[in-house]
Structure 1
Amino acid sequence: MTDLTDDGDDRDEQALEDDDPVNDVTDTPDIASVLSPAAPDGAAPDGAGTSDDDAEAVSGGDIVITEDELLGGSADDYEDVDEEPVRESPYDRPGSWYVVHTYAGYENKVKSNLESRINSMDMEDRIFECVIPMEDVIEFKSGKKVVVPKKVFPGYLLVRCDLDDDSWRVVRNTPGVTGFVGAGSKPTPLTRTDVETFLGVKEEGPETTKRTRPRLEYEVGESVRVREGPFADFSGQIAEINEDQLKLKVLVNIFGRETPVELEFSQVAKL
């Protein structure tokens, strides 16, 4: 008779070892295993054949998502994206912009005097910049069209500084300066819109608009509104009309003072 006792004990011990919780550990899958195709349970080892039924079962299984699809695109997609250049606004530079009134016709001399005082008095850390706003104006000379740089508003400078008693004194006591522009005795800093308008911050790209020859329908003393350019939306009164060059001289109220501004007919509109 065959003794089955030992075999039964061996099977019981083997079952206990299989059910041992210490040896029963489940590994947590990493992202690589989640994002890559996993072999199904009971998959055949390398080199083993796969039946037609098994192949059909695999092809009809869960959809495999790649890492690129999960992240919404590939690295090549991001490399091809061109970043648009960011244009600096003069308003974002350190300090604030103030308007300084000077004698008309002496703007360049006053600017030179002020810059010399800034250097000699070691004020570069509080007075940063002095600018005469300019614009290109088309004129006709000897029957030819020429571009001439002109001051946007004569008799004024723009100064960028950290204004305190010392910096105010350096600017105010510069020969040719008659004062700051502001309410009462307190200088008023310019807004972002004013700074970007007077210093000519423009959109990049070729000019696509063309001006048409306007009709001669304006009169001296007539009030008009500026349609485009540095003084867009300002109102003023026509002081002179140049019919040959199709230009007007308009008195525009700038910082509380009437300033003559030369404009083309197409740059103004009737009120």
Structure 2
Amino acid sequence: MAEETDSDTWYVLRTFSNHEKKVRRYLESEIDRLGLEDHVEEILIPTETVFEMKGGEKKTKEKTFFPGYILLNCTLTTELRDVAEDLPSVIGFLTAGTGDTPTRLREEEIKRILGKMDRAEEMGEQPEMPFKMGDPVKVVDGPFDSFNGIVEDVYPDKMKVKVMVSIFGRKTPVELDYLQVEHEE
């Protein structure tokens, strides 16, 4: 029987960057195949929803908070550790430097990570408005791409800003999605 090294706590499994979901699928299938479900409470990839403009359309995308890391809430046995570390795209468990023993996440660390995910989830489709009246901005998408202007008004409920741009020497107000503009440097 496998030796139990720790009881139901959080550990960090390091993976190749952008391979987190693939590693989670591998790990879940190996856990099922070997009957280790009782040892694993949760496999978590902390993510948030971000918005970006592509081709004039607003797209939502899931972004990982910690690329290359998966959090495991488990009873870490020797068997479970060996299974996880032998998976493709896995670097190994996070250790405390010199030792070979996986480091547990402290309770306050996991609360902070889970709290960050909860806040991102609560915000849902309402990202915070990064602009205020008077901000100099540059249009980065749409028909006014590369125009510079000043934010005249902010509409947080519609996620839009009114920008005063100069077209043929004449100041013209243009209403743009906030993803179509960025702060001028």
TM-score scaled by length of structure 1: 0.41
Name the counterpart of 2:131: 213
Equivalent position SS for 1:188: coil
Give distance in 1, aligned partners of 2:93 and 2:181.
Answer: 35
- The share of aligned pairs that are identical, in percent, is 33
Name the counterpart of 1:165: 78
Change (3 A) 1:111 1:212: closer
Pair 1:117 & 2:30 matched: yes
Letter in 2 for 1:145: K
| Aligned counterpart in structure 2 of residue 196 of structure 1, from 99, 111, 114 | 111
| Aligned counterpart in structure 2 of residue 136 of structure 1, from 49, 61, 65 | 49
Letter in 2 for 1:126: H
Which has more strand, going by share of residues?
2
Letter in 2 for 1:113: Y
Gaps of 5+ in 1: 1-93, 217-242, 248-271
Report the structure number with the largest CA radius of gyration: 1
Give distance in 2, aligned partners of 1:201 and 1:194.
Answer: 14
Contact 1:139 1:245 in 2 (8 A): no
Give distance in 1, aligned partners of 2:96 and 2:73.
Answer: 18
Contact 1:95 1:160 in 2 (8 A): yes
Change (3 A) 1:245 1:169: farther
Pair 1:183 & 2:96 matched: yes
In the TM superposition, 1:53-72 aligns within 5 A as none
Q: Deviations over 1:209-268 (max 9, x none)?
A: 95341757xxxxxxxxxxxxxxxxxxxxxxxxxx96538xxxxxxxxxxxxxxxxxxxxx
Q: Alpha-carbon deviation of 1:158?
A: 1.0
Name the counterpart of 2:67: 154
Q: Deviations over 1:97-140 (max 9, x none)?
A: 11111112222211111111111111111122212211011212
Number of residue equivalences: 129
Letter in 1 for 2:52: E
Gaps of 5+ in 2: 1-6, 137-178
Give distance in 1, aligned partners of 2:67 and 2:30.
Answer: 22
